[in-house]
Chain A
Amino acid sequence: MKAASPPFRSFLRSAGSVFLKDWRSELRTRYAVSALLMFVVTTIAIILFSLGSEGASPDALSGMLWVVVFFAAMSGLSRTFVMEEERGTTLTLQLLASPGAVFFGKLLFNLVLVTGLNAVTVLLYGAVIEGFVIRTMSIFVVTVILGSMGFAAAATVIAAIIARANTKGTLYPVLSFPIVLPLLLSVIEATKKASDGAFFAEAAGEFQLLISYIVVVVVASSMLFEFIWKD
């Protein structure tokens, strides 16, 4: 195995330290976590108010869950890169770490962030919204995990583009939507199956799609990241 060779180990170490740097700075400010939590609470409250006493069909509710997830991700995941530009630390990071290490460090941070966020969103959504029932838990859990990975993969590279373009927030959902649409459609489809009580094997097609989507996006963006990151 080549995995233990020194260049790879040093790559892992620097990717790990990029992650740790972001992790510590997040723990210090707790900006992303608190802002995102409030965002999720607000959005779910809006859904509750707009539904009022009328229930919506389980299919519509499983779609709406991913609307919350999409916009929450769009409001928080660009932060890792935008923050570097705001603090003016991009240049330092360019000098200290290889583009690949920066990319995978940030990807890992976004993955942790979005997985935690989705876990909270799903629990809150399931607890508060009455008509939303999951009959096949295994499909749902796998969908949320794969969905989080896909969101992190697509959102990280778009965040890098956004941060370099100095446009901050507005363009982020615009650029991300066509890219995450295949992911969004498959997770919504899988969630509908989970709420219909389908067998695990029936969602296998969606899972294959999600896994190949994640692989393709991560590979493509790790190849392109160098061109985005370096001037």
Chain B
Amino acid sequence: MVLKILLGVLLTAVIIFGLGLPMSPHPQAWYELPVIPGLGEKARIIFFHVPTAWLSVVAFLTSMVYAIAYLRKRDLSYDIRSSAAAGLGFMFCILATLTGAVWAKFNWGSYWNWDPRETSIFVLLLIYGAYFSLRSAVETEEKRAALSSAYAIIAAVTVPFFIFIMPRIMTGLHPGAKGDPEGAGPVVEFKMSPNMRIIFFSSLVAFTLLFYWMFTLRVRTAQVEAHNHQRG
């Protein structure tokens, strides 16, 4: 209950302050956000786009951890958790792709241009898609759990290679990428004023809490479904 109230307060605050606070080139008062060169008002999407992208990765890792747990313990409740996390991750991945594409249209002039970040989110989408098509192809529960767990782990193992490959193939347009004239590195560190950072991190916390809540809900419904299914 406390969690839900906290979540409600945080998300409302993030929406109000993130969208409502004025932006000025030389912020004076505490409530004025600085203008990031080259981003302007479009920078506000960072409070919503980055948390969704962050969650699609967190969900993927959660899914992988439960996949390992399933293979070790052979307990189907871990598989329920693994697939629940993957389902939410898929949703957040789609949201991150869409918010990113909308932002790219207004900042770079086209919805999609195979920037390294766009490519990696696309690969993540493909992995989620493949994971669920594999799950839908297997009838037996234990078999489905074992095969999809194995696939999730194999996929997770190859994903880090993109971090090394992408910079070789193309320079990025994404803020904080290697080609950024403002400098490379996480945007949070060098472009955000303290008040922006507070909104950003509250948004990150709020979205993570939201994920946790949705995750427990999904796990509980899936467990009830599995229970009903067993009783016929």
Contacts and interface: CB of A to CB of B under 8 A. Distances in A.
A165 B169 CA distance: 35
A185 B133 contact: no
A157 B154 contact: yes
A91 B161 CA distance: 36
B81 to A, nearest CB: 17
6 contacts: A161-B134, A161-B150, A177-B126, A179-B155, A185-B169, A189-B168
A209 B162 CA distance: 10
A228 B157 contact: no
Interface string B64-94: 0000000100000000000000000000000
A216 interface: yes
Given A179-B155, A224-B150, A189 B169 contact: yes
Given A216-B157, A220-B153, A161 B162 contact: no
A216 B158 contact: yes
Interface in A167-204: 167, 171, 174-175, 177-179, 181-182, 185-186, 189
A164 B143 contact: yes
Contacts of A103: none
Nearest to A180: B158
Contacts of A205: 168
A54 interface: no
Given A174-B133, A213-B161, A217-B158, A161 B151 contact: yes
Interface in B128-154: 129-130, 133-134, 137-138, 142-143, 146-147, 149-151, 153-154
Interface residues of A, number: 32
Contacts of B9: none
Given A165-B138, A175-B134, A224 B143 contact: no
CB-based closest 3 A-B pairs: A182-B161, A178-B126, A167-B137
Given A166-B137, A178-B158, A213-B161, 9 more contacts: A164-B143, A165-B134, A165-B143, A174-B129, A175-B151, A177-B130, A179-B155, A182-B161, A182-B162
A231 B165 contact: no
Nearest to B139: A166
A201 to B, nearest CB: 15
A194 B39 CA distance: 39
Interface in B149-193: 149-151, 153-155, 157-158, 161-162, 164-165, 168-169
Nearest to A216: B157
A75 interface: no
Contact of A171 (B71, B133, B158): B133
Contacts of B71: 224, 227
B45 interface: no
A17 interface: no
Given A164-B147, A178-B126, A228-B150, A213 B158 contact: yes
A186 B158 CA distance: 13
B47 to A, nearest CB: 29
Contacts of B149: 227
Given A161-B150, A165-B138, A209-B164, A178 B157 contact: no
A174 B196 CA distance: 41
Given A164-B143, A185-B165, A227-B149, A220 B130 contact: no
Most buried by A among B71, B129, B157: B157
B168 to A, nearest CB: 6
A179 B158 contact: yes
B123 A178 contact: yes
